[in-house]
């Protein structure tokens, strides 16, 4: 109806929308906004449900879920992502490159199990299973945050019909010791010590580049892993080791001898970098580093890999020599990190406990170490059988045919 009365008739005239609006409004429930309905029955039903949910503190206004996935991510979710700068960047890339192009225009409340099943089928055609699972983990986190913000009632990623890509067995591959030794001997002599420390103590590449003579305790035979050098957006910075935890690693005498000889010939270089992230406004810290460039700077992993690591692999035939003007043809499994896997294989095959190895590697739980490296334990099962045989007595030299075929 028009608000003003007609001057001739003195009555309010009907508009084109007369009778088409929602005639029944529900209001006055604590924590619940007004809601309008076409019929009285719908209004009463909603009133009952929302009143009960409000008393439980579980009310979610369906209108809040009308925001699109892209708008919610940009305006609310993204600001809450925490972690190391590199981790935050990777999460942003997963969402920006693989979630928003497919689901960005869909309202949060309309992301159903059917929508997700279709999306996952598309994702499996674009990405490896392990990476697809990382993307889905980030997407699930978006929905969990939306639940906390009272925009969704439940996480659609948890629906029984929504099946994630099957994770491949997460076993690590090690080099035969002979190959590791040949790489150590063929690499640029200036950086031989990097191979020695990674292979002999299991340090990650960034931890090797962040190692200081102050971290090496020759008297106790240990290395304190206190920092790493990371590269993000073309800028280097110091930060804590992976997981934000320092650790102590056993230092074999062979590693100690090589480090002592290296220190005599190559004095440490003081390097200043931002701490905790690459931003210029970050606090600067200075450490004497065992390894540095010829210009006295911290080492960039990408340059080291291309100009030092891969040429050494090519010299011993692990990868083909690079053609002029082209990139190296190298598998990821032959990256610097393989030295850490080789270290783990040596330690386990020597009979060291998984708990000790987990501590040296900096894993948060021995379970992670077992998941990655259990296949490096060739005696698994053998020792148990021997113990049982010793308990029960003499083992028969043969098994009867009728039992063997059972």
Q: Where are the domains of the chain?
A: 1-59, 82-158, 177-376
Tens digits of per-residue pLDDT, 130-160? 899 999 999 999 999 999 988 888 899 999 9
pLDDT at 177 over 80: yes
Distance (Å, whole) CA 168 – CA 132:
11
Q: Is a pLDDT exceeding 50 seen at residue 240?
A: yes
Considering 65-74, 83-92, 197-206, 371-380, the range whose residues carry the highest mean pLDDT is 197-206
Length of the chain: 406
* DSSP H stretches of helix in 187-316: 192-201, 205-209, 253-265, 301-304, 310-315
Distance, in Å, from the CA atom of 167 to the CA atom of 154, rounded to the nearest integer, reads 25
Residue 70's pLDDT is 95
Look at 259 and 84; give whichever has higher pLDDT: 259
Candidates 3.40.50.620, 3.40.50.12280, 3.20.10.10, 1.10.150.130; CATH matching 82-158: 1.10.150.130
CB–CB of 374/254 below 8 Å?
no
| Res. 182: pLDDT tops 90 | yes
**What local confidence, expressed as pLDDT, does residue 59 receive?**
47
Residue 68 has pLDDT above 90, yes or no: yes
Which residue, among 276, 93, 327, 299, has the nearest Cα to 188 in the 3D structure? 299
Dmax of the chain from CA atoms? 117
Q: Are 133 and 157 in contact (CB under 8 A)?
A: no
Task: Give 340's pLDDT tier (boundaries 50, 70, 90).
Answer: very high
Kindly tell me if the per-residue pLDDT of 21 is higher than 80: no
175-179 average pLDDT score: 93
pLDDT tens-digit readout, 384-403: 556 666 666 655 555 555 55
- Is the CB of residue 153 less than 8 Å from the CB of residue 60? yes
Do 264 and 71 contact (CB within 8 A), yes or no? no
Percent of the chain with pLDDT over 90: 61
Query: Which pLDDT score, from 0 to 100, does residue 14 have?
Result: 59
Of residues 287 and 47, more confidently modeled: 287
Residue 224, helix vs strand vs coil: strand
Which residues make beta-bridge pairs with 286?
272
Model pLDDT, residue 2: 54
CA distance 352 to 333: 24
Residue 261 reports pLDDT greater than 90: yes
In CATH terms, the fold of domain 177-376 is: hpI Integrase; Chain A (1.10.443)
Lowest mean per-residue pLDDT among 20-34, 295-309, 350-364: 20-34
Q: Are residues 198 and 208 in contact, defined by beta-carbon separation less than 8 angstroms?
A: yes
Classify residue 384 as exposed, middle or buried by CB count within 10 Å of its CB (0-12, 13-18, 19+): exposed
Residue entry with tokens 């210009």: 295
Whether the pLDDT of residue 326 is over 80: the answer is yes
Tens of pLDDT, residue by residue over 33-65, are 566 667 777 777 766 666 665 555 544 555 667
């Amino acid at each position: 109806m028009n608000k003003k009365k007609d001057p001739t008739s003195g009555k309010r005239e009907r508009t084109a929308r007369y009778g088409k609006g929602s005639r029944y409004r529900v209001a006055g429930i604590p924590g619940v906004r007004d809601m309008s309905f076409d019929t009285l029955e719908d209004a009463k039903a909603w009133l009952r449900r929302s009143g009960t949910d409000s008393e439980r503190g579980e009310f979610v206004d369906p209108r809040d879920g009308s925001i699109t996935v892209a708008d919610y991510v940009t305006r609310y979710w993204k600001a809450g992502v925490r972690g190391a700068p590199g981790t935050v960047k990777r999460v942003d890339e997963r969402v920006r490159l693989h979630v928003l192009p497919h689901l960005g225009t869909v309202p949060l409340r309309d992301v159903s199990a059917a929508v997700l099943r279709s999306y996952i089928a598309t994702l499996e055609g674009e990405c490896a299973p392990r990476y697809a699972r990382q993307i889905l983990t980030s997407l699930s986190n978006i929905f969990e945050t939306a639940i906390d913000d009272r925009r969704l009632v439940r996480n659609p990623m948890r629906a029984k019909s929504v099946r994630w890509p099957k994770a491949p067995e997460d076993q690590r591959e090690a080099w035969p010791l002979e190959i590791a030794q040949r790489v150590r001997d063929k690499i640029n002599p200036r950086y031989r010590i990097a191979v020695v420390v990674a292979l002999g103590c299991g340090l990650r590449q960034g931890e090797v580049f962040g190692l200081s003579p102050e971290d090496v305790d020759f008297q106790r035979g240990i290395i304190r892993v206190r920092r790493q050098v990371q590269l993000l957006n073309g800028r280097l910075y110091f930060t804590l080791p992976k997981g934000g935890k320092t650790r102590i690693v056993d230092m074999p005498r062979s590693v100690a001898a090589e480090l002592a000889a290296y220190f005599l010939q190559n004095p440490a270089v003081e390097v200043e970098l931002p701490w905790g992230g690459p931003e210029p406004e970050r606090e600067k810290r200075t450490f004497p580093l065992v390894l540095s460039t010829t210009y006295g700077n911290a080492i960039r992993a990408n340059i080291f890999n291309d100009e030092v690591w891969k040429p050494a692999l090519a010299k011993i035939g692990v990868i083909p020599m690079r053609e002029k003007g082209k990139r190296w043809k190298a598998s990821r499994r032959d990256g610097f990190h393989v030295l850490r896997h080789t270290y783990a294989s040596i330690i386990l095959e020597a009979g060291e406990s998984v708990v000790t190895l987990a501590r040296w590697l900096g894993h948060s739980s021995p379970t992670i170490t077992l998941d990655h490296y259990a296949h490096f334990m060739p005696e698994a099962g053998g020792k148990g059988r021997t113990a049982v045989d010793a308990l029960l007595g003499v083992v028969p030299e043969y098994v009867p045919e009728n039992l063997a075929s059972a």
